[in-house]
Amino acid sequence: MAVGARSGHGEPERRPGRTDEPLRESAGGEAPREARSQATDGTAGPDDDARTEKPESGAGQDGGRGRRDESRKQRSFWKELPLLIGIALLLAFLIKMFLVQAFSIPSESMQNTLQRGDRVLVDKLTPWFGSKPERGEVVVFHDPGGWLGETPAAEQGPVANGVQTVLSKIGLMPSADEKDLIKRVIAVGGDTVECKGNTEPVTVNGKPLNEPYIFPGNTPCGDKPFGPIKVPKGRIWVMGDHRQDSLDSRYHQELDRFQGTVSEDEVVGRAIVVAWPLNRWSTLPVPSTFDQPGLSAAAAAAPSALGLAGAVPLVLWRRRRILRKDAEALRLASETAEPKG
């Protein structure tokens, strides 16, 4: 055998760092790199066309689904809109019934505090919890009977009447059928109110009122003196701030036995704010003159009541002490009168 001869039937020489796996892969029939590159760069076959059309079909389906979802959302909104409107109207009706209600000022009887055409919001909540009208408050009340000669009904067309009827149901406008007035409370049940005329002030329980809210140029009651009048329990005496243009309690003293006073049951609520027009927005607080000491009839009677309450225990204590001394004296007398045995 010649030196350097090898067996292996012509297999290539194995070099260090090389394996025979790549050679086997190549021998297994895998296309050369150049052939694979040509197949990729060649003309696409039918299978390739099918693969490229599928994404386009999917995009079309997604677009159609998006349009259907958008259309469904729009239909859902229009279906829910009547429900939302109904809920809003129901809330407005409940607010009108139990919380606040808007009223329009129909006359000049409360100038300059309120002007004709103003819209005020009236608190209807606190009367549900037992709140009663207080002196100095501006209140809305139902016509006690025969008072509304000063406010003739305004002429309106059928359209305006229909709009007012609808808006009045939800509290955005006063009802044309409701006969309400707005005045300031001057005295409440138990008070004695009086005004002697000329430039004399109105007095409540003997205390004169300082009334800067009276219309400029008016007198407190120069056109219609009255009193003294004892306001019955559960009733109020009311007057307009425009004293010479207000048919208030002074002008209705002869209607019934209550001498022009208004029942608390007729009061709708207290006007708390001027809401419209916006340039006249303001609150309606109680003037400070109604907070002066001694104005309340109950406050005037308080010192004597407190004195009586303090005197009663003192009298009882003194009487008990006298009785105890008398009992002690009788006991000593009986002991000295007993015979000694």
Active site residues: 109, 183
Q: What are the residues facing 283 on neighbouring strands?
A: 273
Rounded Cα–Cα distance for residues 84 and 272 (Å):
30
DSSP string, 224-248: S-EEEEEPPTTEEEEE-SSGGG---
Residue type, 205: N
- If you write DSSP's letter for every residue of 110-147 in order, what string do you get? TTTTS-TT-EEEEE-SGGGGT----TT-EEEEE--SS-
Question: Among residues 124, 121, 235, 256, which one has the least CA distance to residue 186?
Answer: 235
152: its two tokens: 């003739």
**Which residue type sits at 296?**
S
- The Cα 91–Cα 196 span in angstroms is 49
Distance CA 248, CA 138 (A): 13
Under a CB-based contact definition with an 8 Å cutoff, are residues 179 and 146 in contact? no
In terms of Cα–Cα distance, which of 253, 291, 257, 285 is closest to 270? 285
Alpha-carbon gap, residue 231 to 246, rounded angstroms = 20
SS3 percent helix, strand, coil of the chain, rounded to 5, is 45, 15, 40
Contact present, 233 and 189 (Cβ < 8 Å): yes
Q: Is 267 helix (H, G, I), strand (E, B) or coil?
A: strand
**Count of other CB atoms within 10 angstroms of residue 151:** 16
